[in-house]
Amino acid sequence: MVKRDREFLEQQLRRIDGKGYGAYKDLRGRYDLESGWTLCVDHVQGDPFAAPSRLSLLVQPQHAEFDPSLYANEPRRVALADFLARRFAALCQRAPRGAGSGKSGLFFIDTPGQEVLTRTASQVSVEGALELRFTLGLPAAGRRVLGRSALKLLLEELPSLLERTLYACRCEAAELRRHVEAVEDARALRAQLADAGLVAFVVDGAILPRASGVNACPMPLEAAIPFESPAELHVSFSLPNAGEVWGMGIPRGVTLIVGGGYHGKSTLLDALELGVYDHLPGDGREGVVAEERAVKIRAEDGRRIAGVDISPFIDNLPQGRGEHAPSTRQFCTEDASGSTSQAANAMEALEAGATTLLLDEDTAATNFMIRDARMQRLVVKAKEPITPFIDRVRQLYEQHGVSTVLVMGGSGDYFEVADRVIAMEDYRPRDVTAEAHAIAAEGVSSRDREGSNTFVLPQARVPLPESLDPSKGRHEARISGRGLRTIHFGQHEIDLTALDQLVAPSQLDAIGRAIYLAREEAMDGRRTIGEVLDWLEQQIAALGLDILDGRRMGDMSAFRRFELAAALNRLRTLRVV
């Protein structure tokens, strides 16, 4: 058997120099190079203008030389892998672009943002072995192989990138340890919320505002106001690395966030909705956590709805509404209004297992949120199919344990249904619960409560696998994400613009493939959507994200069941029973 080592790879590259680009396919395979690390050429692009070739580096523990404490548990392994991906990505961005056609000489790895996610691009094993997956444009002149340039890239520049990545790991030991400990502490903090009766926590000193609307980095310290908890909500937690930390706890139940415009209401909610993820140290939000099953819902005009029971919010539609559905218990439409879309978003979140709903009046349908007394007098309930959220929010908590955190600046009627009211003033929170309840007690609201006394959870829906067609042209399955907002699923586009809790394009790539895997192996015409989500979570927990694609892809990152369910529900061909 031929020994596939550095010398063999060099011979191959010299042999194909100047040949047609297809000769690069001879490189596919595994090469044992410098002591302790291996190069795998997993896929070779068809031409220099196609998607770059996929490669991976495997580094054995004795060569990686990580301190064992840095990968002692799962949160630390995820954080270590994240740190290495960031270093490798930064080096790739600074690497000079090689000469040649198309994408020649371009290195790329799935680059993390402010959140720390499990990614297929960078993985650290229980034993401390490292795997990096990345892409490289193999160099060409026209459509001819530039073998000598490829030799320099693979046997000089790539080893240098790897060594500098590992060197940074050793050289910046203090920074790396802060990174690992921040993630471990966030996991520990989130795990303690339930026992403390909280749905979220914001550490004192947090920097909640972002640099800009298009820049997720924290606002510079000199311009930001550090968060400071009001005394009434001050709680503390003991963390494995930071020790005791203090901050504001948001209790279970119904919490209002009120205040004037531009005082930080939506900024606080934005931080809470992304508190379902761990953040890197220095982000400002690394001490902001929310329970894992917190879901942001909003109005979403124009979305498709497939057989969702929205009757707790909307019932008795006038003649001709809700095509293909005899009632709103199996509501279908190709073009939802603001209120029907928000009702469906809420019920779909509950179907997927949400235990906390996050809402902002700025992105909500007004008629879904409330009908005031004067409107009730003018449009009587018999002529209004909508039961507003204000009349359901307490039932959700008292009957089903589903909490709500709601930004509300325009309706004091919500004071009567709130357990806690937090006012934001100049980005500083103040507990005004007693004042709000006193105002509500001065005179009972003249509006009538609407709807029944019971909130019935949505009927279980069974997705039909034949309604999900991932094929396109000659391809049995053609699935890819585009940015943060679209999944191409066969010939169809899934619009995820309204999902505020997606943070990485590689989440969309993984979600699209997860829908396909579920179609092939879990959807049998009997499993409900909730059971399909459970099955996928179990498979990924046991086998990792690689179960979603057998091609050793480096472009997938961890996602939540709620965004997966949302993507499935927005596929315009979905049919359910």
3-state SS record for 471-507: CECCECCCEEEECCCEEEECCEEEECCCCCCCCCHHH
Query: For residue 445, what pLDDT is reported?
Result: 72
pLDDT at 300 over 70: yes
Tell me how far apart the terminal alpha carbons of the chain are, to the nearest angstrom. Answer: 56
pLDDT in tens, 326-380: 479 999 999 999 999 999 999 999 999 999 999 999 999 999 999 988 888 898 8
The residue that leads in pLDDT, 446 or 177, is 177
CB burial of residue 542 (10 Å; 0-12, 13-18, 19+): exposed
Task: Give residue 384's pLDDT band: very low, low, confident or very high (50, 70, 90).
Answer: confident
pLDDT in tens, 88-98: 999 998 877 76
d(CA 524, CA 203): 45
Query: For residue 175, what pLDDT is reported?
Result: 95
Query: For residue 319, what pLDDT is reported?
Result: 61
pLDDT in tens, 442-477: 876 778 899 999 999 988 999 999 999 999 988 889
pLDDT in tens, 223-277: 999 999 999 999 999 999 999 999 999 999 999 999 998 899 999 999 999 999 9
Domains of the chain, by residue range, sit at 6-171, 294-442, 465-570
Is residue 514 helix, strand or coil? helix
Give the angle subtended at the CA of 375 by the CAs of 369 and 381, to the nearest 5°. Answer: 80
* Mean pLDDT of all residues in 167-176: 87
pLDDT at 32 over 80: yes
* Mean pLDDT of all residues in 502-522: 97
Task: Give residue 99's pLDDT band: very low, low, confident or very high (50, 70, 90).
Answer: low
* Mean pLDDT of all residues in 106-123: 96
Task: Give residue 325's pLDDT band: very low, low, confident or very high (50, 70, 90).
Answer: very low
Task: Give residue 320's pLDDT band: very low, low, confident or very high (50, 70, 90).
Answer: low
Query: For residue 372, what pLDDT is reported?
Result: 87
Query: For residue 98, what pLDDT is reported?
Result: 64
Tokens of 509: 């790539």
pLDDT at 322 over 50: no
Task: Give residue 24's pLDDT band: very low, low, confident or very high (50, 70, 90).
Answer: very high
Task: Give residue 4's pLDDT band: very low, low, confident or very high (50, 70, 90).
Answer: confident
The answer to whether 447 and 440 are in contact (CB under 8 A) is no
pLDDT at 324 over 50: no
d(CA 133, CA 137): 14
d(CA 8, CA 359): 60
pLDDT at 9 over 50: yes
Query: For residue 536, what pLDDT is reported?
Result: 98
Handedness of CA 408, 412, 415, 417 (dihedral sign): negative
* Mean pLDDT of all residues in 79-108: 86
Average pLDDT for the chain:
93
pLDDT in tens, 399-439: 999 999 999 988 889 999 999 999 999 999 999 999 999 99
* Mean pLDDT of all residues in 274-287: 97
Phi, psi of 249 (to 5 degrees): -100, 135
Query: For residue 516, what pLDDT is reported?
Result: 97
